[in-house]
Chain A
Amino acid sequence: MNVSVALMLELGAILAALSVLGALARRFALSPIPLYLLAGLALGEGGIAPVPAAGPFVETGAGIGVVLLLLVLGLEFTVPEFAVSLRRHLPSAVVDLVLNATPGAVAGWLLGLDGSGILALAGVTYISSSGIVARLLGDLRRLGNRETPAVLSVLVLEDFAMAGFLPLLSVVAAGGTWRQALLGVLLALGAVVAAFTVSYWWGHRLGRALLHLRPDPEQLLLRVLGVTLVVAALAEAVHVSAAVGAFLVGLSLTGEAAERARQVLSPLRDLFAAVFFLAIGLAISPRALLPVLPAALLLAAVTALTKVVTGWYAARREGAGPRGRLRAGTALIARGEFSIVMIGLVGVRQDRLGALVAAYVLLLAVAGPVITRFAGARPAPGAGAGRLGGPPPPPGPGDGERLRATP
């Protein structure tokens, strides 16, 4: 066997560098995604340290990265969580969609992008990074706060909207006449409905087939990955994008099968997702970044504000106070993996869009966690301390019903 020394060396150096960057980001409770993007920018053409030998691997790895990102997203879905979120937060989801997709669409139109570009940019500004936000809430120890279910519900409903949006985007991006596009959209929506039907009626059987003969983690990994890649390839062949195919596989699996699949796939997902972010950075020339920076800044500022309004509205529905509403709003600012996936879908060939979105995500993936860490934080000790021995705190508005409803 012929081992390429250059490939191994470059790849090893890249992964080691990413791990250092990731550790640095985690130290400050930030997302590593912007650092991976920056690393890609630095390594690409015109960057400081080109990596010609690792290029083909990174390209292939990036494709697998998108597939794994969406497969695990699909596995995250549980019907009860979706139902509860929908029941309590449908209005929040509508506010979220209208307020946050519109600025992206308008910006795309002003920049003179084509239909798929406008649609992609709308998606980019709409979707908060559930990965970053969920992790952030845990790190900042806010899982017990009253606004937290509202934030998580908005995220779940966004992910659900992705189920319809991604196939639509991939079909529109594939181009062709409007007749082909319409057919493609119908096909894609049909596939999503089919995946949900399968999940609802036969999910347990699928799970049983997957867990047949009690597979060890290795067996399970091979099975899930094998099936997913085959489905992804078939989806790509009918122009519905491999990523969407993988998402559908994830949606079809529920219960214990999904739980175990998520466990074995997560490390692999983390590895290849890092490669994917790197590849996006590689595909964008650093020189293209500077001209789009003003537009990215403006778009980031506007959509950070619209997310704050969204979170404010959603948290108010849960009865949270003003500081809780601010916390919820700022928590939603972070954009990340799926905004990048969108430009992956329409193709980074649209260089201006790629650069704009990369700059946009760089800004908000860093700014989001920082802003929410300081916004609505607990007042300095002294103000609320000295609780022991003092009178109990007055119950908050909207506090009583749920706690005292049961006899």
Chain B
Amino acid sequence: MDVNEVLLPGVGMRYEFANREGDRMCVVARRSGDFELMVYEGADPDEARVMCRLTGEEADTLAEILGAPRIAERFADLTKEVPGLGAGQVEVRAAGPFAGRPLGETRARTRTGASIVAVVRGEDVIPSPGPGELLRAGDVLVVIGTRDGISAVEQIIQG
């Protein structure tokens, strides 16, 4: 997709694109770290209507929501590009030692070298989960690492 970038000197950057239905929209990323989301409408294509303003944190949240369904897909692409690196999925079982305990306690990365890059919980995806993230029975962990690393994580999580 073509994204048109326009420099706004002293203010930040504006990104514009048109969707399939022909709506033109743009995002202004301000130097201050804030964002504005706008659409162009009406007969005058010179004017944008601001839909909302977001702080940096709010923008991150929005990006995560919009990007979540693609995360697993992107990791799959990534592992194709880097030889020796693989992606695996490990389920947290109710009987396992970590159901109901924080992710940090698994010490998975320290012990195996493989990283847990996302937690899939039903319909939700928690990308880049922090060590404080509580694991629940039924969660699926997306693990990136060597083949040995991934199976080591599996052993840790499932006991």
* A residues in contact with B48, CB < 8 Å: 141-145
Segment of A161-169, A249-257, A387-395 engaged in the interface with chain B: A387-395
Main secondary structure of the interface of B (DSSP, over half): strand
Do A321 and B44 form a contact, CB below 8 Å, given A143-B14, A403-B2, A406-B2? yes
How many residue pairs, one in A and one in B, have C-beta atoms under 8 Å apart? Answer: 103
Question: How many B residues are at the interface, by size bracket?
Answer: 20 to 34
* A residues in contact with B47, CB < 8 Å: 142, 144-146, 323-324, 378
* A residues in contact with B18, CB < 8 Å: 403
Of chain A, the residue at the smallest CB distance from B41 is A387
**In the assembled complex, B123 has its CB within 8 A of some CB on chain A:** no
A149 interface neighbour in B2, B6, B23, B26, Cβ under 8 Å: B6
A394, B26: Cα distance in complex, Å: 18
A349-390 interface bits toward B, Cβ cutoff 8 Å, 1 = contact, 0 = none: 000000000000000000000000000001000001101000
B7 interface neighbour in A76, A143, A149, Cβ under 8 Å: A149
6 sample A-B contacts, Cβ–Cβ < 8 Å, listed by A number: A80-B7, A81-B7, A138-B11, A384-B41, A403-B16, A404-B2
Among all A-B residue pairs, the 8 with the closest Cβ atoms:
A144-B48, A384-B42, A324-B46, A81-B9, A144-B38, A396-B45, A156-B9, A141-B50
**In the assembled complex, B75 has its CB within 8 A of some CB on chain A:** no
**In the assembled complex, A134 has its CB within 8 A of some CB on chain B:** yes
User: In the complex, how many residues of chain A place their beta carbon closer than 8 angstroms to a beta carbon of chain B?
Assistant: 41
**In the assembled complex, B28 has its CB within 8 A of some CB on chain A:** yes
A389, B109: Cα distance in complex, Å: 53
**In the assembled complex, A399 has its CB within 8 A of some CB on chain B:** yes
Determine whether the beta carbon of B9 is less than 8 Å from that of A84: yes
Determine whether the beta carbon of B46 is less than 8 Å from that of A146: yes
* B residues in contact with A321, CB < 8 Å: 44, 46
Interface residues of A in 77-119 (CB under 8 A from B): 80-82, 84-85
Of chain A, the residue at the smallest CB distance from B6 is A149
